[in-house]
Amino acid sequence: METVILKISLCSSLLIAIYYLFLQKEKMFRFNRFYLLFALIFSYTIPFVKINLPAISEKKNQLIFEEITTQQLIQKTDQASDFNWMNLILMIYILVSIILIIKSLVSIRKILKLKGTDINYQNQNVKLIEKDLPPFSFWNKIYLSKKHFEDQIDHRIFLHEKTHLIQKHSLDLILVEILQAISWFNPAIYFYKKAIKDNHEFLADEVIVRKEFNIKDYQNLILAEVLNAQNLSLVNQFNFNNTKKRFIMMTTKRSKLEKFKKLFAVSAFAGLSILFVQKVYASEVTEQKENEKPAVATLVDEKDYTESNRRMMEMYKNELKKERIPRAETVAEVVVMDTIPANKTSKTRKLKENELPIPPPPPPASNSTAAQFPEGINSLRMSFSNIFDSSKFVDDTKNKGTFKTNIYIRIDENGKTTDVRAEGPNTNFNTEAVRAMKVATENVTWKPATEEGKAAATVFQFPITMNFQ
């Protein structure tokens, strides 16, 4: 999830930077409106888009996995001693989002509750309000003060507000408010909000200028109106903040580089889509040459599995005898989940704080669920096999025969991989297996294991065997 948030923030920041550097000062207001709205939608959706790509063809031996049943080791941790910072961050996020949503709803209610009389003026819905406020528009209605209307409102001001309604500018502002509420942590969203509001004013002013009204008289009229400006985030109104920009854009002439800048802006979407889209590489089946034999990785059978665990338990007992493991340290109760038949009772033992548990397998626990790789175990196998570099073993004449190792992946209750270790007789093989698994699980959020209906820390066992001939 952190990767998605980072992609959204980075993509939206790059696109708004392009707007301010290349498009803001250009007199192509309709294109700019489309650009800003599409940039927002694009930034918030592209990280979720997946594309299937062919596997990268490399001349290296591939790991071939048989259907296996992996072993799941669930650790019960002392919940009282662990403080979950992710829950705190989530609570802060939700609290701020709720506050922003309430603020927006209050702003809408404030507009709708304005006391006044609804009339139809020049085929437009108009509400004559009792407060002495400058004209503004929201949704499908123009709001005018009674005093302003009785003094005969200037038709240029009315046309300006009417343009906001015709072009549906309120929809743009509501979209920005929603995105701001759910992604207030994204600094780019505030620049989008300001840019969209400014662009709305440019679009409305453009209609007035095209009517060939005197520009200076219109500018003086704007200055008179902004003196009574208020601050409502969801309305289009006259204000001081963008008055200078509006005056400049009224007299700005079209640039000769407009077409080039439009082409550059559109090209940016294509480039960023390649950069931020999720790429899923398909498996590639290649024919092996007769003199090349692939390295085959399979799960150790039940006999080898039992022997391996017995050997590891003997190593553990020897460490206890040597008092390498302090007896007063924090302990974790270990429950092993596996479909390998075992009629032994569940056992617990004391572990060092950072030790990966490796006990013999008892029957599976009925009230527990295993951690799951996001796209399934086959996806993990494929990713691991693509990353694992078996060429260093094939090319070495000393590395012949069968290598076995058990990879242990520690997964916390939030689904994050916190440690990867390997237990096998060949150090080089263990090192490469750990490296490949770390890369394969980097930035991946597992579906956490559960114990008694609650998320639990997990050790995921991934045994492999490789034959080199």
Which pLDDT tens digit goes with each residue over 305-345?
445 555 555 554 555 455 443 333 333 333 333 333 333 34
Give the pLDDT confidence score for residue 21 in this predicted structure. 93
**Percent of the chain scoring above 70 in pLDDT:** 69
- What is the Cα–Cα distance from 110 to 125, expressed in whole angstroms? 18
Query: Is 138:235 a contact under the CB 8 Å cutoff?
Result: yes
Is 399:468 a contact under the CB 8 Å cutoff? Answer: yes
Share of the chain above pLDDT 90, in %: 23
Beta-strand relationship, 71-76 and 449-451: unpaired
pTM here is 0.57
* Predicted local confidence at residue 446, as pLDDT: 86
- Sign of the Cα torsion 394, 395, 396, 400 reads positive
Pairing of strands 454-468, 449-451: antiparallel
Is the pLDDT at 35 greater than 60? The verdict is yes
The pLDDT score that the predictor gives to residue 303 is: 47
> Which pLDDT value is given to residue 228?
58
Highest mean pLDDT among 88-102, 321-335, 357-371, 423-437: 88-102
Report the first-to-last Cα separation within the chain, whole angstroms. Answer: 43
Mean pLDDT comparison of 233-237, 387-391, 437-441, highest-scoring range: 437-441
Q: What pLDDT does residue 329 have?
A: 34
Give the mean pLDDT of 75-83: 50
pLDDT number for residue 448: 86
What is the predicted pLDDT for the residue at 12?
94
- Contacts of 390-399 with C-beta under 8 Å, sequence gap 24+, read 390/60, 390/61, 390/62, 390/63, 390/295, 390/466, 391/60, 391/61, 392/428, 392/432, 393/295, 393/428, 393/429, 393/432, 393/466, 393/468, 394/61, 394/295, 394/468, 399/428, 399/468
DSSP state of 253: P
**From 10-14, 160-164, 344-348, the region with the lowest mean pLDDT:** 344-348
Between 189 and 147, residue with greater pLDDT: 189
pLDDT at 199: 93
pLDDT band at 94 (very low <50, low <70, confident <90, very high): very high
Q: How far apart are CA 108 and CA 4, in angstroms?
A: 31
Work out the average pLDDT over 69-77.
50
| pLDDT of the residue at 186 | 93
Per-residue pLDDT at 249 exceeds 80:
yes
- Of 119-133, 348-362, 427-441, the poorest mean pLDDT is in 348-362
The pLDDT assigned to 84 comes to 73
Contacts of 46 (CB under 8 A, 6+ apart): 7, 11, 272, 273, 276, 277
Q: Which residue has the higher pLDDT, 394 or 8?
A: 8
pLDDT of residue 287: 37
Asked if pLDDT for residue 59 goes beyond 80, the answer is: no
What would the mean pLDDT of 81-106 be, rounded to a whole number?
86
Q: Distance between CA atoms of 75 and 70, rounded to whole angstroms?
A: 16
pLDDT average, residue stretch 410-414: 86
In the predicted structure, residue 192 carries a pLDDT above the cut 50: yes
Dump pLDDT digits (tens) for 358-386: 544 444 445 778 888 888 888 888 888 88
Indicate whether 14 pLDDT > 80.
Answer: yes
